[in-house]
Amino acid sequence: MNSRVVALEILKEGISNFFISRTSWEKTVRFKDEDRAFIRKIVYGTLRYYFELSKRVDTFLKNPKNTPPYIKNILIMGAYELIEMKTPSYAVVNEYTKISPPKFKGLVNAILRRISEVAEEIDLGTGLPQWLYDRLKSQLGEDLELFLKSIESHEISLRAVNKTRDKIIKDFALNGIGTYPMKFSPWGIKCSDGVDLNTFKQFENGDFTFQDESSQLVGIVVNPQKGERILDAFGGVGTKTTHLIQMEPESLIFYNDLSRSKTSIAMDNFKRLRKMPSKIMNLDILNDEIDEKFDKILVDAPCTALGTIGKHPDLLLRITESDIEENSEMQLRMIDKLWNNLSTGGTLIYSVCTVTKEETDGVIEKFLSSHSGRCVDPFDGIFDFDFNGFGVQLLKWMEGFYISKIIKEG
């Protein structure tokens, strides 16, 4: 099958469901490595600049509203190749005309030709919806540039689990894959995109797992100790849970997540990495009761996940302005609820993979105004990141990710 046809099918899923499933990516398995990388690039790139590309394509159409969505997507993806990837015009025009339904071949050919004539002059800007750009600009100021750069990076991040980082780097080198150690995480490895590492036997064996550097630093902040009872309240697919067990196998790590499907993936990860939590729960933190106390609670809360746009550009199609406020209210309720399960003197670690003020400092500031907790520098004596009294935004050093550490006072 034609790689662009598969890319269009995956793009369609991203646009209609605001999410690209694993099953969808599995359609690319039968392609050669370079074609698979090409499909990923045009799907991610098109989604990343979808709003802007769509606006530009509309200006070339007589009847944008009456153009069938499939044809519109062909034109948008073709435009992305012309403007951003600089694929030669004849290839773009020919290939997309070839895969168009007979009735629309003439239209696709004509429009892509016209776009190719001006492609050099088109600037897609940041690709963010205007309201999001404006909000981030006012909150991040000059750091907006760092944010935009971080979401353009397509490097793969790994955490060494059952082999040392050096050994894994050597193993990859033997397979012709260049990697390098992360700067801050002692377990972390970076590798360029386009390699399907999850088909590696080392992955199946549990030598490593996928995890961003910022997310690995959460383990350093939690710093599990022997015998400590630690609740990972939003365990998801178990990435941080397994890290905590790896760091201190004699700690008692409790995994929880509302989603059964996430828990099922987490179970696969627990088995593959040979890191089983002491207890696995599927409670709704906002509505169910947990009758236990913990020494530490990790609140890796659901959020707008703006720091992960690079990996999930489909987020840009789904996020709305009200999501930011709604998430921050929910995050506050989550910490508030879990605070009751924390022993006096215990530590609550709050983390979110986003950069909005509302979901980061805003949540912690509101929480502290009505609870006797004390914020401390999560990386005190370890790394010299900027602690602002509430938490640390890691954007200056890696991805957009926020960590706060609160001690419960008596």
Pairing of strands 294-300, 279-281: unpaired
Nearer residue to ligand SAM within complex by CB, 156 or 258: 258
Nearer residue to ligand SAM within complex by CB, 134 or 284: 284
Nearer residue to ligand SAM within complex by CB, 234 or 379: 234
| 284 touching ligand SAM, by CB under 6 A | yes
| 93 touching ligand SAM, by CB under 6 A | no
β-bridge partners, 190: 157, 180
Among 259, 280, 293, 371, binds ligand SAM (CB under 6 A): 259
Direct distance between the N- and C-terminal alpha carbons of the chain, in angstroms, rounded to an integer: 65
Nearer residue to ligand SAM within complex by CB, 8 or 349: 349
With contacts defined by CB under 6 A, name the span among 24-32, 154-162, 188-196, 251-259 that binds ligand SAM.
Answer: 251-259
Nearer residue to ligand SAM within complex by CB, 45 or 188: 188
- Smallest gap, in angstroms, from Cβ of residue 313 to ligand SAM? 18
Nearer residue to ligand SAM within complex by CB, 77 or 398: 398
Among the listed residues 294, 408, 311, the one whose alpha carbon sits nearest the alpha carbon of residue 353: 311
β-bridge partners, 375: 406
HEC-encoded secondary structure of 320-381: CHHHHHHHHHHHHHHHHHHHCCEEEEEEEEEEECCCCCCCCHHHHHHHHCCCCEEEECCCCC
Q: Please, which of residues 180-239 interact with ligand SAM by CB under 6 A?
A: 234-237, 239
Three-class DSSP category at 253: strand
| 285 touching ligand SAM, by CB under 6 A | yes
Backbone angles phi, psi at 118, to 5 degrees: -115, 5
- Smallest gap, in angstroms, from Cβ of residue 288 to ligand SAM? 8
Residue nearest ligand SAM, Cβ-based:
236
Question: Which positions ≥6 away from 207 have C-beta within 8 Å?
Answer: 160, 161, 162, 163, 167, 168, 171
Pairing of strands 252-256, 279-281: parallel
| 300 touching ligand SAM, by CB under 6 A | yes
Among 52, 257, 359, 377, binds ligand SAM (CB under 6 A): 257
Contact 295, 230 (CB under 8 A): yes
Nearer residue to ligand SAM within complex by CB, 248 or 300: 300
Q: What angle do CA 398, 51, 134 make, to 5 degrees?
A: 60
| 262 touching ligand SAM, by CB under 6 A | yes
- Smallest gap, in angstroms, from Cβ of residue 223 to ligand SAM? 16
| 302 touching ligand SAM, by CB under 6 A | yes
Number of shown-chain residues binding ligand SAM (CB under 6 A):
15
Nearer residue to ligand SAM within complex by CB, 116 or 304: 304
Provide the residue type at 91 as one letter: A
Binding site for ligand SAM (CB under 6 A): 234-237, 239-240, 257-259, 262, 284-286, 300, 302
